[in-house]
Amino acid sequence: MSGTKKGNVVLSGMRATGRIHLGNYFGAIKNWVDLQDHYDCHYCVADWHALTTDYADTGDIAANALEAVADWLAVGLDPERCVIFVQSWVPEHAELHLLLSMITPLGWLERVPTYKEQIQQLKKRDLSNYGFLGYPVLQTADILLYRAHFVPVGEDQASHLELSREITRRFNGLYGPVFPEPKALFTPTPKVPGLDGRKMSKSYANAIDIADTPEEIRRKCSSMFTDPTRIRRSDPGHPETCNLFAFHRLVSPPDVQERVERECRLAQIGCVDDKKLLAEQLIEFLTPMRERREALLANRDELMDILRDGSKRARERARETMDEVRSAMSLDYGGNGKGLSG
């Protein structure tokens, strides 16, 4: 494989659940953009992972995958500098998932904290399925298929990554050292709050999307929670605990941040005016991204070409890995084991 920067491979993925919000951007994708020039980066639209919870309603998955990729490109992922691909277009993910499922004890999967939490939280769906339990095994296949050294993820993925490392050790112990042990690269950004101060999340309906129009941004900002201890306009505010200020820190230029911080503490600016100011800062920050995503989605053929090309490149590496895996597991039938597909 040519073009390996510093010899280190990065793999990350995101479930194909549609347009991304500021929490996805600051919590993950911005970091993906920054890593492009330092590693040999592979980014996966995990459409099969979306099926683990949305299996009963698959109609939106393809459109969601395309919207997500349009957002990724709009915020700065560059198909010339990284490999962007669709999980289901590289069927080797399924083969490696199957092989890894043979060596993964049920107890390891049942212990993953997100497993029980999700079953509790998504009560409306029956998640007592084989595929849902195996979510982290599929994720491990995503990582190992590219023999990745580093996996940029948020803290919420720590338990999945730990499990991936355990499965890797088990594979290498049984069949020989095929895979490097993947290490998490935790994203150095703080949690992005939502409009209501809880973590920004699609399922809480408290998100600001990259695709939001100026009108939507103004409407959302006007409904934002602010410093709860600032009751009257004349009360001094506390930027360090105010939800609004958390957003200024992310998107406003330093001089605006300094002014808001000072005026808020002195009760010179009120929350309503601050919301208006923040809306304009967000609009300035997001408009170029939104325009780029619109242009990309208006030209689907080009978007599909980018994904086809990325998936082809991903598949080349995936096939090399599977040759090594089959050989390590004595499934290569004496070197003739590419079967009919080779």
160 and 114 in contact (C-beta within 8 Å)?
yes
Q: How far is CA 240 from CA 254, 309, 336, in A?
A: 15, 46, 64
127 and 155 in contact (C-beta within 8 Å)?
no
Minimum distance, C-beta of residue 240 to ligand TRP, in the bound complex (Å): 29
Among 9, 10, 13, 145, the residue binding ligand TRP under the rule CB under 6 A is: 13
Q: List alpha helices for the chain, DSSP H.
A: 22-24, 30-35, 47-54, 61-74, 92-103, 106-110, 113-121, 130-133, 135-144, 158-175, 214-222, 243-251, 254-265, 271-298, 300-328
Of 82 and 264, which CB lies nearer to ligand TRP in the complex structure? 82
Mapping DSSP to helix (H, G, I), strand (E, B) and coil, where does residue 165 land? Answer: helix
Tokens of 133: 């339990």
Of 29 and 283, which CB lies nearer to ligand TRP in the complex structure? 29
Please enumerate in sequence order all residues whose Cβ is within 8 A of that of 46, keeping only pairs 6 or more positions apart, or say none: 13, 14, 15, 16, 87, 139, 142
Of 32 and 245, which CB lies nearer to ligand TRP in the complex structure? 32
Distance CA 257, CA 3 (A): 41
Minimum distance, C-beta of residue 273 to ligand TRP, in the bound complex (Å): 37
Tokens of 79: 């198909």
Q: Is 143 in the site for ligand TRP (CB under 6 A)?
A: yes
Q: Is 53 in the site for ligand TRP (CB under 6 A)?
A: no
Provide the residue count of the chain: 342
Binders of ligand TRP among residues 25 to 44 (CB under 6 A) are 44
Minimum distance, C-beta of residue 11 to ligand TRP, in the bound complex (Å): 6
Binders of ligand TRP among residues 155 to 214 (CB under 6 A) are 157
Of 41 and 271, which CB lies nearer to ligand TRP in the complex structure? 41
Tokens of 99: 């092989």
Which neighbouring-strand residues pair with 9?
40
91 and 318 in contact (C-beta within 8 Å)?
no
Tokens of 310: 């990325």
Distance CA 243, CA 225 (A): 6
Of 9 and 153, which CB lies nearer to ligand TRP in the complex structure? 153
- Ranked by CB distance to ligand TRP, the top (closest) residue is 13
Minimum distance, C-beta of residue 47 to ligand TRP, in the bound complex (Å): 10
Minimum distance, C-beta of residue 265 to ligand TRP, in the bound complex (Å): 37
Of 31 and 252, which CB lies nearer to ligand TRP in the complex structure? 31
Minimum distance, C-beta of residue 337 to ligand TRP, in the bound complex (Å): 27
**Residue 122 is which amino acid?**
L
Minimum distance, C-beta of residue 41 to ligand TRP, in the bound complex (Å): 12
Q: Rg of the Cα trace of the chain?
A: 22
Q: How many residues bind ligand TRP (CB under 6 A)?
A: 14
Binders of ligand TRP among residues 123 to 142 (CB under 6 A) are 139, 142
Of 11 and 74, which CB lies nearer to ligand TRP in the complex structure? 11
Minimum distance, C-beta of residue 104 to ligand TRP, in the bound complex (Å): 16
Of 49 and 317, which CB lies nearer to ligand TRP in the complex structure? 49
Q: Is 12 in the site for ligand TRP (CB under 6 A)?
A: yes
Of 146 and 247, which CB lies nearer to ligand TRP in the complex structure? 146
Identify which range of 10-18, 100-108, 124-132, 258-266 contacts ligand TRP by CB under 6 A: 10-18
Mapping DSSP to helix (H, G, I), strand (E, B) and coil, where does residue 80 land? Answer: coil
Distance CA 21, CA 24 (A): 5
Q: Is 269 in the site for ligand TRP (CB under 6 A)?
A: no
Give the binding site for ligand TRP (CB under 6 A): 11-15, 44, 46, 49, 139, 142-143, 151, 153, 157
